[in-house]
Amino acid sequence: MEQLKIPDKLLLLRKIYSIYEQYTNSLDLACKKGCAHCCTRNVVITSLEGILIYNHFKANADDHSINKIRKFSHLPRFHTQLTTNDFAEMCMKGEETPDEQGNQVTGRCPLLKNETCTIYDVRPFECRSLISNVNCRDEGCAEQDPFSISVNTVFKQFIEHVDSSGISGNLTDILVHLDIEMGKGDDLKGGPVADNLIQNKALQILLVQPEHQEKMQPIIDSIQQIRI
Ligand code: SF4
C-alpha cells in the first residue's frame, strides 16, 4: 500500500465502498433517506476518507462545510484510542481491550442538513456501516445481525490498511487537521500526530468469527482482487 499514491488509494477506497454497497443492497434494512438518527458527532474516519471528503468540498467550492466544522469544533465529541487494526492485534495477543462505548456523546454531525447528509456520495465507512434491521428512532437503537457486524469489522480493517501510513480520528478532528495540512501539499505524510488523532496500522490478522469464515471468504476475495 505504501507505494500507492493518494489518487490510487482514493480509487481503491471507492472500490471497497462499492463492494460494501453490493453487500448492503442484498439486505433488508430499515435505513432510508431522511433517517438521520445515527448522524452524531461520534463518527471516526481515516485520513484517506477525510481527503475524499475534503476533495469533495474543494471540487464543489464548498467553504461553508469546512467553516461549519471548524466553527463547531469546540463541542464535545467521541475520540477513539484504538484503530480497528490495533484492536485486532490486541485480540490476537489475548490482551484486554478497552470498552470505549461510554465515551460517545449526544449531538448532531456538523455535515447534516435538513435530516440529510450533505456529503452522502463520499460519506465515510462508519456512516455506511450504520445499518439497522429496525427503525433506530422507534426502537431506541440499531439492530444488526452478527454476520453484518463481522463484515463491518473486516471492511474497517481493509480501509485502515489502505491508509496504513495515515491516521484516524473523529471526523471533525481529521477534517480540521486536513484543512491545516492541505496547505502544505496533497500527499498527507504520517508526520506528527495531533492530539486526538491516532496512527493507522497495516492489517496483521482479520477478525472473523469461526462460524462466519466460510460465508465471509467471497467478500474478502472481492476486496483482495481489486486492481488499480
Ligand atoms: S457524514 Fe453524513 S452520514 Fe455521516 S454522520 Fe455526518 S451527516 Fe450522517
DSSP annotation string for 79-142? --S--HHHHHHHHHTT------GGG----B-TTEETTEETTGGG--HHHHT---SS-HHHHSS-
Stronger pLDDT, 191 or 79, i.e. the higher one: 79
> What is the average pLDDT score of the chain?
91
Provide the pLDDT for residue 17.
98
Which residue has a Cα nearest atom 8 of ligand 1?
39
The CA angle 59-64-66, to the nearest 5 degrees, is 80
CB 160 within 8 A of CB 203: yes
Query: Residue 141's pLDDT band (boundaries 50, 70, 90)?
Result: confident
Secondary structure of residue 168 in the 3-state scheme: strand
Q: Length of the chain in residues, anyone?
A: 228
From 54, 112, 132, mutation site for ligand 1 pocket: most ligand atoms within 8 A of C-beta: 112
16, 203 contact by CB (below 8 A): no
Residue 109 CA to ligand 1 center (angstroms) comes to 6
Q: What is the distance in A from the centroid of ligand 1 to the CA of 110?
A: 8
Average pLDDT (174-187) is: 78
As a whole number, mean pLDDT of residues 60-70 equals 95
Q: Give the Å distance between the CA of 115 and the centre of ligand 1.
A: 10
Q: Please state the rounded mean pLDDT for residues 136-160.
A: 92
Query: Which atom of ligand 1 sits closest to the CA of residue 112?
Result: 7
